[in-house]
Structure 1
Amino acid sequence: MAAVVDAVTAVGKLTGSRPIVVGGLAVLARLSSAHRATLDLDIVDRRAEGQAGQLEILRKGEETSPAEPAAVTLPTRFGEVRVDVLEVNQYELDRPSDDAGDRLHVGSHAWAADSATDVTISVLGSERRELVRVATTIAEPGPLVTMKLQSIMNRGSAKAGTDLWDICRLTLDPVCRRAVLNQLEGAGPQLAADALQHVDLWFQRKRPWSLDRLAAVAGNSFATDDFDLVGELLATACQPRR
């Protein structure tokens, strides 16, 4: 974890701005208690027209190495870290796809970038026994849930399980729960509709598959009733408003 947090500082120095952190580190920063470790750093690049992309800038770094499909390997004081750059541009937002999954990918990442707030993350370096701290911009709980709902379909079994675990933890966490539900209730109609389709897919139509993936990473820490409750809460929050 120290390496991932240290990578946030390194990315900020290379790009000249605070990175917008999503993915596992953002989830851990939002929860009241950590439930898993993360080895990679995921950032969103809300790229404006004519602006150099963060991936391009990072790949020009003297000590970075390109990684596919849209990432770099970055050295830190605590070891190398893979940094995945998720780019969102205005063209994709202005000309939305006909596919709900593609729309949710673009819409949720844009939402995450536009609504992210400043957070200070602190972890203890395991080897040097020093406090590693960084102030950066972190995605809010609601956008994190919608990003995770979409990313499940593009992942292997283990990663799909951790996405489902993150969704459940964020939705039931005493600190995040109200933010998740309020933010989903306030999401745009199309984004909420696309999220609702994915809630129905993972928590209803593919429920046995989802429970198997969740159990593989979370063990017995989540009961079936808890999983069903998460599905009900998310579905209600994403329902269209009159």
Structure 2
Amino acid sequence: MAAVVQGVIEVRALIGQAPVIVGGLAVLSRLSNPYRATVDLDLVDRLLGHLPQLEVLRAADGAEPVEPAAVLLPTRYGSVKVDVLEVRQVELDQPSDDPGDRLHASAHAWANDTATDMTIEVIRTSGERVAVTTPVAEPGPLIAMKLQAVMNRSTDKQGTDLLDIVHLVLDDTTRAAALAQIRSVEAATVQDIAIHVDLWFTRKRLQSLQRVRAVGGRDITTDDLDLVAELLTDAAQR
């Protein structure tokens, strides 16, 4: 984890601004009880700068490109894989006919535009502290991104995404904010959220439960998934 947090510091120095953190590190930072570790760093780039952030990072000394849209970035604590999730304005102005593609663009733009500063700190076994303050995606956008990501992931990654959603919805620290944010997001985005909630927490509920339990969520039950579905579906009502 020290390499991941140090990676944020390195990225900030390279791109000249604080990066917007999404993915596993954002989830763990938001939860009251971070239930897993992460070894990767996920960023969102609205492509509003002079150069794409991925291009800048890949040009850094010692950096190694990782396809399709990542870079292995050296840090003082070891290399960290940085995935850059790009959102083009045309994807928002001319939405796809596919709800998954639409939610990918809208959820990542939502995450970028509403991220708030958090201080992320890791204490190494030596007692050394590694800390950084940077914008981190809010719980509602994180749920939307995770819902969309499940479809194209490996079995293990599907389980992690689904378990992240369960924790974000049921955690006392994130639940109220997540549901309020989903209630207030624009109608097109919330409709796509509802489609994905129905897919993964209703129609494919048993498959989702298997995926969740396979990655460590052995205490999660069908009742938990039903509650997540109920809360998210209610928040998505217009």
TM-score tier after normalising by the smaller chain length: over 0.9
* Structure 1 equivalent of residue 25 of structure 2: 25
| Counterpart amino acid of residue 205 in structure 2 | R
Matched, 1:107 2:106: yes
Q: Could you report, residue by residue, the CA deviation over 1:19-77 in whole angstroms, capped at 9, with x for unpaired residues? A: 000000000000001100001000000112x7310001011101211111001001112
Paired residue total: 238
| Counterpart amino acid of residue 130 in structure 2 | V
* Structure 1 equivalent of residue 3 of structure 2: 3
**Cα distance in 1 for residues equivalent to 2:6 and 2:21:** 13
**Aligned counterparts, 1:1-242, within 5 A:** 1-48=1-48, 51-126=50-125, 128-239=126-237, 241=238
TM-superposed deviation, 1:151? 0.1
**Cα distance in 1 for residues equivalent to 2:78 and 2:222:** 38
Q: What TM-score, normalized to structure 1?
A: 0.96
Q: Does the residue aligned with 1:73 lie in a helix, a strand or coil?
A: strand
**Cα distance in 2 for residues equivalent to 1:211 and 1:123:** 31
**Cα distance in 2 for residues equivalent to 1:123 and 1:219:** 24
State the identity as a percent.
Answer: 57
**Cα distance in 1 for residues equivalent to 2:218 and 2:97:** 38
**Cα distance in 1 for residues equivalent to 2:85 and 2:219:** 31
| Counterpart amino acid of residue 4 in structure 1 | V
Q: Could you report, residue by residue, the CA deviation over 1:153-202 in whole angstroms, capped at 9, with x for unpaired residues? A: 01000000000000000000111000010000001000000010000000
Q: What TM-score, normalized to structure 2?
A: 0.98
**Cα distance in 1 for residues equivalent to 2:179 and 2:216:** 23
TM-superposed deviation, 1:219? 3.6
Superposed CA RMSD: 1.0
Asked if the contact 2:57/2:71 (under 8 Å) is kept, the reply is: yes
| Counterpart amino acid of residue 123 in structure 1 | V
Structure 1, unmatched stretches of 5+, are none
